[in-house]
């Protein structure tokens, strides 16, 4: 892979150089230099944590505009399951789907329906795999986290496409078959809860090209849905999702839908890091499958959502229970698709090779020794006033030429004290022609 695409972007004019973001970034991908934040492209995983915590709204997500819909002759909305929890509890799933149709889409295919299919594919894969624990591939921020920080765990990632990709693939397949519309005229638009899924479409992992053509955030389409609620219904050509698929929008919903094995659900990016560290140390080998979601509460806690995540979690759970668990498809047909590798990723997942100190092993070892030596000379307070998230990150920045030792205020203070002492000593010295003390104050005697 060459170059990086990131949805998370910095508006330099709004940045005031505070250090809130550098402390909250889970991959230490932000620095503050010359009074402004900088995002290190090779470390950012687009989790959106910096968007949440920036008090100046200097971080934001780049996405497709609704104007992009005009590029397609037949437009299909792909609502994330978490979208259904953004409205009042008396608003039904069907009303939301109808409102999306009225908002300008020609059809609506639920990602929750694809999630039901993917749940079966995951269950079958777990049963036939000897790797433990397997790790979910549904959260793109977690996938990127593993690539840049835990590359040894890439083999644990289950090679099954995400529900978003399967939804786009199925929707295009059905529209082409039933309506005779060529694939090139069909546009699939994912309604996203987070910036990581924008990046997953623009720069996919484990697949050559995304089946999704555009990504619009939930907080952008939200107003259009509100305007069109209660304005009639339409006859869809697609089947509808049940409660298990809708439940994928919150933490634990994926495991509930899989319904097999000794599984673990973890949400929140820092909690995910803690669990991945334990997996890396071989501590969780008795777990079959780990569902990891970068956002607190799962997708309902995404940075591009509208509703409070705690309220949304309750709404989604109640909606799931109300919809029930009866599938609207034949499971045997899904198993045939599994045999035909319909759900498989098309390419390998590779680790990021740019997280180390140097691509050359000998130079990397040399730089690591210098890093450790530099770190010992720093105060170890991890105060962040240098613009790096902690002392170790500053030591790394110094070794890589991104910072100077005097960026540390404590080192700068020591240096100033030393210089002041030297100036004081010099001020007390006299040239030999003026020295009447016999050279006591003159080092040359």
Task: Give the pLDDT confidence of 248-300 residue by residue, as tens digits.
Answer: 999 999 999 999 999 999 999 999 999 999 999 999 999 999 999 999 999 99
The reported pLDDT for the residue numbered 363 is: 87
110-146: per-residue pLDDT in tens?
Answer: 999 999 999 999 999 999 999 999 999 999 999 999 9
Asked if residue 30 lies in contact with residue 40, where contact means CB atoms within 8 angstroms, the answer is yes
| CATH no. of 361-428 | 1.10.15
- The pLDDT confidence band at residue 102, using thresholds 50, 70 and 90, is very high
Distances (CA, A) of 325 to 95, 114, 247, 321, 322: 20, 14, 10, 8, 9
66-95: per-residue pLDDT in tens?
Answer: 888 889 999 999 999 999 999 999 999 999
CA-CA distance, 393 to 406, in Å (whole number)?
Answer: 14
Instruction: Let me know if the fold of 8-61 is the same as that of 66-129+158-248+299-340.
Output: no
CA-CA distance, 324 to 83, in Å (whole number)?
Answer: 18
- The pLDDT confidence band at residue 353, using thresholds 50, 70 and 90, is low
Asked if residue 252 lies in contact with residue 293, where contact means CB atoms within 8 angstroms, the answer is no
- The pLDDT confidence band at residue 235, using thresholds 50, 70 and 90, is very high
Chain length of the chain = 445
CA-CA distance, 51 to 67, in Å (whole number)?
Answer: 24
- Report which secondary-structure segment, H or E, holds 293: strand 289-293
- The pLDDT confidence band at residue 31, using thresholds 50, 70 and 90, is very high
**Averaged pLDDT score across all residues of the chain:** 92
Asked if residue 325 lies in contact with residue 243, where contact means CB atoms within 8 angstroms, the answer is yes
CA-CA distance, 340 to 330, in Å (whole number)?
Answer: 16
Mean pLDDT value across residues 100-106: 96
CA-CA distance, 411 to 391, in Å (whole number)?
Answer: 12
CA-CA distance, 432 to 442, in Å (whole number)?
Answer: 7
Higher pLDDT, 443 or 351: 351
The reported pLDDT for the residue numbered 351 is: 66
pTM of this structure: 0.89
The reported pLDDT for the residue numbered 137 is: 96
Least confident of 194-208, 291-305, 420-434: 420-434
49-68: per-residue pLDDT in tens?
Answer: 999 999 999 999 999 998 88
Question: Kindly report the CA angle at 360 between 359 and 364, in degrees rounded to 5?
Answer: 90
Is residue 388's pLDDT more than 50?
yes
Give the strand pairing for 186-192 and 74-79: parallel
- The pLDDT confidence band at residue 347, using thresholds 50, 70 and 90, is confident
For tokens 């309902």, name the residue: 300
141-177: per-residue pLDDT in tens?
Answer: 999 999 888 999 999 999 999 999 999 999 999 999 9
Distances (CA, A) of 92 to 83, 239, 321, 323: 12, 16, 13, 10
The reported pLDDT for the residue numbered 1 is: 44
Asked if residue 191 lies in contact with residue 78, where contact means CB atoms within 8 angstroms, the answer is yes
Nearby residues of 287 by Cβ (< 8 Å), 6 or more positions away: 132, 133, 262, 263, 264
Terminal-to-terminal C-alpha distance of the chain: 68
The reported pLDDT for the residue numbered 445 is: 41
Q: Where are the domains of the chain?
A: 8-61, 66-129+158-248+299-340, 361-428
380: left (phi over 0), alpha (psi -120 to 50) or beta: left
- The pLDDT confidence band at residue 440, using thresholds 50, 70 and 90, is low
Mean pLDDT value across residues 368-394: 93
- The pLDDT confidence band at residue 398, using thresholds 50, 70 and 90, is very high
Span 66-129+158-248+299-340 CATH architecture: 3-Layer(aba) Sandwich (3.40)
Span 8-61 CATH architecture: 2-Layer Sandwich (3.30)
Asked if residue 242 lies in contact with residue 89, where contact means CB atoms within 8 angstroms, the answer is no
The rounded percent of the chain whose pLDDT value lies above 70 is 96
In 3-state terms, the chain is what percent helix, strand and coil (to 5)? 45, 10, 45
Is residue 356's pLDDT more than 90?
no
The reported pLDDT for the residue numbered 206 is: 86
278: left (phi over 0), alpha (psi -120 to 50) or beta: alpha
Quote the tokens at residue 244: 């298990």
């Amino acid at each position: 892979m060459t170059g990086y695409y990131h949805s998370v972007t910095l508006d330099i004019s709004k940045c005031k150089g505070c250090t809130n973001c550098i402390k909250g970034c889970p991959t230490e991908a932000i620095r503050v230099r010359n009074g402004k934040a900088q995002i290190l492209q090779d470390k950012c995983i687009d989790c959106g944590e910096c968007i949440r915590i920036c008090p100046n709204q200097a971080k934001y997500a780049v996405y497709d505009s609704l104007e992009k819909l005009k590029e397609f002759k037949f437009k299909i909305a792909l609502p994330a399951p978490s979208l259904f929890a953004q409205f009042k509890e008396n608003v039904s799933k069907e009303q939301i789907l109808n409102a999306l149709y009225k908002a300008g889409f020609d059809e609506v295919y639920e990602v929750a329906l694809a999630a039901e299919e993917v749940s079966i594919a995951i269950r079958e894969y777990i049963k036939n795999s000897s790797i433990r624990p397997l790790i979910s591939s549904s959260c793109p921020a977690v996938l990127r986290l593993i690539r840049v920080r835990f590359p040894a765990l890439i083999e644990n990632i289950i090679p099954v496409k995400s529900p978003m990709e399967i939804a786009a693939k199925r929707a295009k397949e059905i529209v082409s078959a039933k309506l005779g519309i060529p694939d090139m005229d069909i546009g699939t638009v994912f309604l996203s809860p987070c910036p990581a899924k924008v990046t997953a479409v623009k720069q996919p992992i484990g697949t050559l090209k995304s089946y999704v053509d555009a990504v619009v955030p939930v907080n952008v389409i939200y107003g259009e849905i509100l305007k069109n609620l209660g304005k009639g219904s339409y006859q869809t050509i697609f089947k509808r999702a049940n409660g298990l698929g809708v439940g994928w929008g919150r933490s634990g919903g994926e495991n509930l839908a899989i319904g097999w094995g000794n599984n673990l659900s973890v949400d929140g990016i820092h909690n995910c890091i803690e669990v991945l560290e334990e997996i890396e140390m071989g501590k969780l080998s008795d777990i079959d499958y780990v569902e990891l979601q970068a956002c607190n509460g799962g997708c309902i806690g995404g940075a591009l959502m509208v509703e409070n995540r705690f309220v949304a979690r309750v709404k989604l759970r109640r909606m799931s229970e109300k919809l029930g668990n009866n599938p609207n498809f034949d499971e045997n047909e899904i198993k045939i698709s599994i045999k035909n590798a319909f759900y498989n990723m098309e390419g390998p997942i590779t680790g990021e090779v740019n997280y180390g100190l140097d691509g050359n092993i000998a130079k990397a070892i040399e730089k690591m020794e210098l890093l450790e030596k530099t770190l010992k000379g720093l105060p170890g307070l991890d105060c962040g006033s240098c613009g790096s998230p902690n002392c170790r990150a500053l030591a790394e920045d110094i070794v890589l030429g991104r910072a100077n030792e005097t960026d540390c205020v404590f080192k700068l203070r020591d240096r100033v004290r030393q210089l002041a002492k030297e100036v004081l000593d010099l001020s007390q010295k006299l040239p030999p022609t003026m020295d009447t003390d016999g050279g006591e104050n003159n080092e040359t005697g």
